[in-house]
Amino acid sequence: MRILILGGDGYLGWPTALRFSRRGHEVHLVDNYLRRRLLAADGTDSLTPIAGDLGARVAAWEQVSGRRITFTEGDLLDWDVTRSVFASFRPDAVVHYGELPSAPYSMRGRQECVLTQHNNVVGTLNVLWAMEEIVPEAHLIKLGTMGEYGTPNISIEEGFIEIAHEGRRDLLPYPKQPGSLYHCSKVHDSTNIHFACRVWGLRATDLNQGVVYGISTDECDLDERLVTRFDYDETFGTALNRFCVQAVIGHPLTVYGRGGQTRGFLNIRDTLRCVELAAENPPEPGEYRVFNQFTESFSVVELAELVQRAGKEIGLEVRIEPIDNPRVEEEEHYYNAKHTRLLDLGLEPHLLSETLVEDMLERIRRYQDRVIEDAIMPRTRWRPRG
């Protein structure tokens, strides 16, 4: 297959590219280094040292594997760039990771919020228009998030829910209550993608992904130069990645509020497998399908306790220190999200309890002298004047 990976320099995009390339697919990447630039502007950096720009990264991959990955350094917001990438590469599948993924960043202020929504919504619109014009048969695999649903007091279905109303029934998009203005951008994307499938006949899989953790993948582990980025700062780090870094450097685990917030999680290896399963099993033309992409649910306190126990196994003394919750969210709530469609396609999950020590804590220890402690504590509040 010819696979276009948008956001190919990112935490998930880079390892996804290596996996597809290793399996013999033709891979092209697009990235404008937005993530790197925003981290640098905040005075922080990936825990793992990145081998250089995309040119250096794909050269390292070619040396290690003998396989070639091509790339474009460019912005999806630039229509000429997006159009010409689609016209020259003519992908069979498009894996779209190329967005700004930070809830705190989108809540920092007007400028950051507008940047997030403009980047994500307009970038995805350009992708949809390029597909409609150039490769209408191609399959869009788009990364959404479980955070699109929020935490309703009923079970969360995979994208659609059957509703009975005044004696009539219909299968309708599941109601969305996103938890940040970043999550709102994902909801807007979902609406636009669904529309493009219904009206233009495109085919798309919207992967409502949980929170990803981990550094290790089969390909990234082949050579130090192939490692993916790993962020732990308040803005771009995800909860579990941050807890693990905190455990290793002896910083208390910062549980926000009462810590009953429950979310779906998955290992980075499972992200790659899910995307591969979606690519191998495309939907019909005109079909918009949604998979809830996570493997296990944990509350924030449960996560912290798991990290504490795993730390103990390797001699780390880990303290848990709840702090004032900077977010506006339910701290105790019902959570039952369905996630069977990827399992039905053959996903075999890696479980957190089995990977925490070796895949996370031990790996993080190797880079612990690179940790920038100032970047960890939350500064962004959901109510700016609250």
Ligand X SMILES: NC(=O)c1ccc[n+]([C@@H]2O[C@H](COP(=O)([O-])OP(=O)(O)OC[C@H]3O[C@@H](n4cnc5c(N)ncnc54)[C@H](O)[C@@H]3O)[C@@H](O)[C@H]2O)c1
Q: Which amino acid is at 254?
A: T
Among 5, 12, 17, 347, binds ligand X (CB under 6 A): 12
* Residue 235 engages ligand X in binding (rule: CB under 6 A): no
* Residue 257 engages ligand X in binding (rule: CB under 6 A): no
d(CA 322, CA 232): 17
Helix (H) or strand (E) holding 91, with range, is none
* Residue 115 engages ligand X in binding (rule: CB under 6 A): no
Tell me how crowded residue 351 is: count the other CB atoms within 10 A of its CB.
Answer: 11
Please pick, among 11, 151, 186, 228, the residue that the annotation labels catalytic. 186
**Which of these, 169, 293, 272, lies nearest to 219 by C-alpha position?**
272
Is the Cβ of residue 170 or residue 218 nearer to ligand X in the bound state?
218
* Residue 105 engages ligand X in binding (rule: CB under 6 A): no
Letters for 275-314 (x = contact with ligand X by CB under 6 A, - = none) are: ----------------------------------------
Q: How far is the CB of 343 from ligand X (least distance, A)?
A: 18
Residues 190-219, interacting with ligand X (CB under 6 A): 209, 211-212
Helix (H, G, I), strand (E, B) or coil at 144: strand
Q: How far is the CB of 172 from ligand X (least distance, A)?
A: 23
* Residue 13 engages ligand X in binding (rule: CB under 6 A): yes
DSSP label of 381: -
Stretches 72-80, 86-94, 303-311, 355-363: which one binds ligand X (CB under 6 A)?
A: 72-80
Is the Cβ of residue 189 or residue 282 nearer to ligand X in the bound state?
189
Helix (H) or strand (E) holding 365, with range, is helix 362-366
d(CA 358, CA 383): 38
Q: How far is the CB of 122 from ligand X (least distance, A)?
A: 8
Is the Cβ of residue 180 or residue 385 nearer to ligand X in the bound state?
180
Q: Is residue 380 flagged as an active site residue? A: no
Q: Which amino acid is at 236?
A: F
Letters for 116-145 (x = contact with ligand X by CB under 6 A, - = none) are: ---x---x-------------------x-x
Torsion of CA 67, 72, 73, 76, to 10 degrees: -130
Q: Give 269-280 as a DSSP string.
A: HHHHHHHHHHHH
Among 10, 178, 214, 311, binds ligand X (CB under 6 A): 10
Sign of CA dihedral 10, 11, 13, 14: positive
* Residue 267 engages ligand X in binding (rule: CB under 6 A): no
Is the Cβ of residue 44 or residue 145 nearer to ligand X in the bound state?
145
d(CA 32, CA 249): 32
Please pick, among 44, 82, 116, 145, the residue that the annotation labels catalytic. 145
Contact 17, 68 (CB under 8 A): no
Among 106, 116, 216, 238, binds ligand X (CB under 6 A): 238
Residue 197 CB contacts under 8 Å (≥ 6 apart), including other chains: 203, 204, 286, 287, 288
* Residue 32 engages ligand X in binding (rule: CB under 6 A): yes
* Residue 44 engages ligand X in binding (rule: CB under 6 A): no
Phi, psi (degrees; rounded to nearest 5) at 289: -120, 155
CA distances from residue 256 to 102, 290, 317, 329 in whole angstroms, order as listed: 17, 30, 20, 10
Six-digit token string for 201: 């006949």
**Which of these, 239, 259, 244, lies nearest to 378 by C-alpha position?**
239
Q: Is residue 97 flagged as an active site residue? A: no
Among 34, 51, 240, 301, binds ligand X (CB under 6 A): 34
Q: Is residue 182 flagged as an active site residue? A: yes
Stretches 33-41, 86-94, 249-257, 316-324: which one binds ligand X (CB under 6 A)?
A: 33-41
Q: How far is the CB of 21 from ligand X (least distance, A)?
A: 17
Is the Cβ of residue 53 or residue 201 nearer to ligand X in the bound state?
53
Q: How far is the CB of 11 from ligand X (least distance, A)?
A: 4
Tell me how crowded residue 51 is: count the other CB atoms within 10 A of its CB.
Answer: 18
DSSP label of 56: H
Binding interface with ligand X (CB under 6 A)? 7, 9-13, 30-35, 75-77, 97-101, 119, 123, 143, 145, 209, 211-212, 229, 238
Active site residues: 145, 182, 186
